[in-house]
Amino acid sequence: MARQARNEALFREVNERIAELGEQAQAWSPDGVVEFMCECGEEGGCGARVSVPLDTYERVRQQDDRFVVRPGHETPEIERAVEWADNYVVVDKIPEVESLVEDDPRGAPSS
């Protein structure tokens, strides 16, 4: 459980890089949708992509215990879904594991 939560934090780091690139790429992707890595905590990463509007991603990152995953990739033991869309689900970490993911690169507060 702890390792899975840390994996999710790892993919958040990857997605931060993708978001930076996405911001630069927005000039030629007018809908603002960026392909992020699924942040479910599967060992080694599940490799799935999630198409998320950049503004939604930015909103998710406002809280350091929220992640975006593909629909069906939620792990009920450590998180609960708080937002659903066709291509992604936003999950919020349960309090028991919040401390494991709070090393947010942006230092955002948790819920």
Amino acid letter at 55?
D
Which chain residues interact with Zn ion by CB under 5 A?
38, 40, 46, 48, 73
Nearer to Zn ion among residue 40 and residue 109 (C-beta): 40
The least distance separating Zn ion from the CB of residue 67, rounded to whole angstroms, comes to 10
The least distance separating Zn ion from the CB of residue 45, rounded to whole angstroms, comes to 8
Range 22-29 contact pairs with CB under 8 angstroms and sequence separation of 24 or more? 22/54, 22/57, 23/54, 26/54
Nearer to Zn ion among residue 82 and residue 109 (C-beta): 82
The least distance separating Zn ion from the CB of residue 90, rounded to whole angstroms, comes to 13
94 Cβ contact partners less than 8 Å away, ≥ 6 residues apart = 78, 79, 80
Nearer to Zn ion among residue 26 and residue 85 (C-beta): 85
Q: How far apart are CA 91 and CA 78, in angstroms?
A: 9
Amino acid letter at 22?
G
Token couple for 20: 């930076």
Nearer to Zn ion among residue 44 and residue 107 (C-beta): 44
The least distance separating Zn ion from the CB of residue 11, rounded to whole angstroms, comes to 9
